[in-house]
């Protein structure tokens, strides 16, 4: 008799997590996409093939943004948005669903959750979203942005990019760099969720009622702080992921480890943090937006 209500509650909670996460991912992706585009362009331009192909070299993030706007207009700053937006909505839904589900299983008898267990739950969420959703959407987004930087772009749009990749490389073409994606997403979610939930406990207290009714300003600020921590802790994973999904990755790198070694040895260790400034601006606000919208959506759904 007592088991049935528990199952119902968990099912409703899982549904709510999925819906709220999807809403949060859509809003966050649409608002912060230009910073993602700039970050990706900055990361791509260090490879030898990029330079050999005549890719445009930018002096910095501001030069990248202004040049893109001057030469391609406002639409240029949203090149590759479609796959990113669809992927962002899906990955956020999967991420929050997985995290909340695993977190519920890892709570102790008193309902409390230690930081190491938060990190495990976040790691699981990141790895699952990375392997199922993020890898293909990020590959297409990265290729569209890379193509945009070439003297003679060859893709007519998202659908053409997908068709070309599948035709020439098979389905594996849109899952290129999946190991790097899973590593980055696992690290991102591990750090971000643990940081957010730990700060949340410190600010609003450990009770479930306090956590569920956190004010918008608090969740926005805590999400921003978690984003800052995440950027500097996981930047190398992001650089390797971007390089592994570039148009020239097949010719330059054998695998993700080889890619990381090539970047560090050929361009210096600091190159593993290339693109940190635009990524910081994105993850600060994406963390703030996604957690604040998620918390508000969950309040509405309860």
- What pLDDT does 176 receive? 78
CB 33 within 8 A of CB 85: yes
> Please, what is the average pLDDT of the chain?
85
**Based on C-alpha coordinates, what's the Rg of the chain?**
20
CB 281 within 8 A of CB 34: no
Query: Distance between CA atoms of 197 and 294, rounded to whole angstroms?
Result: 13
Q: What percent of the chain stands above pLDDT 70?
A: 93
Query: Distance between CA atoms of 57 and 146, rounded to whole angstroms?
Result: 12
Q: Is the pLDDT of residue 4 over 50?
A: no
- Burial of residue 167 (CB within 10 Å: 0-12, 13-18, 19+) is exposed
Q: Is the pLDDT of residue 177 over 90?
A: no
CB 49 within 8 A of CB 248: yes
Can you spell out the DSSP letters for 208-221?
Answer: HHHHHT--HHHHHH
Angle between helical axes of 276-301 and 3-44 (0-180°, round to 10): 160
What confidence tier does 204 reach under pLDDT thresholds 50, 70, 90?
A: confident
Choose between 16 and 52: higher pLDDT: 16
* Predicted structure pTM score: 0.72
* CA distance to 8, 15, 61, 156, 227, per residue, from 289 (Å): 29, 20, 22, 32, 10
Around Cβ 11, how many Cβ atoms within 10 Å?
10
Query: Distance between CA atoms of 268 and 264, rounded to whole angstroms?
Result: 5
Q: What percent of the chain stands above pLDDT 90?
A: 33
Query: Distance between CA atoms of 219 and 286, rounded to whole angstroms?
Result: 12
CB 272 within 8 A of CB 235: yes
């Amino acid at each position: 008799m007592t088991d049935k209500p528990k199952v119902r509650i968990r099912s409703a909670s899982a549904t709510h997590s999925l819906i709220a996460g999807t809403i949060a991912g859509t809003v966050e992706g649409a608002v912060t996409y230009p910073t993602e585009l700039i970050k990706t362009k900055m990361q791509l331009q260090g490879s030898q093939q990029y330079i050999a192909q005549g890719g445009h070299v930018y002096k910095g993030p501001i030069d990248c943004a202004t040049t893109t706007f001057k030469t391609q207009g406002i639409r240029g700053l949203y090149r590759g948005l479609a796959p990113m937006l669809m992927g962002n909505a899906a990955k956020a839904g999967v991420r929050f669903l997985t995290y909340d589900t695993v977190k519920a299983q890892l709570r102790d008898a008193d309902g409390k959750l230690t930081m190491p267990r938060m990190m495990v739950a976040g790691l699981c969420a990141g790895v699952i979203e990375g392997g199922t959703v993020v890898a293909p959407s990020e590959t297409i987004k990265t290729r569209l942005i890379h193509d945009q930087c070439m003297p003679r772009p060859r893709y007519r749009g998202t659908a053409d990019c997908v068709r070309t990749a599948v035709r020439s490389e098979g389905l594996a073409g849109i899952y290129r760099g999946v190991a790097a994606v899973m590593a980055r997403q696992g690290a991102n979610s591990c750090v971000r969720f643990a940081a957010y939930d730990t700060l949340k406990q410190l600010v609003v207290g450990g009770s479930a009622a306090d956590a569920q009714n956190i004010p918008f300003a608090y969740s926005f600020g805590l999400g921003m702080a978690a984003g800052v921590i995440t950027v500097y802790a996981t930047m190398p994973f992001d650089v390797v992921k971007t390089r592994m999904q570039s148009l020239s990755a097949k010719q330059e790198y054998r695998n993700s480890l080889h890619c990381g070694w090539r970047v560090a040895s050929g361009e210096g260790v600091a190159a593993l943090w290339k693109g940190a400034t635009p990524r910081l601006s994105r993850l600060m606000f994406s963390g703030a937006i996604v957690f604040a919208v998620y918390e508000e959506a969950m309040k509405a759904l309860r």
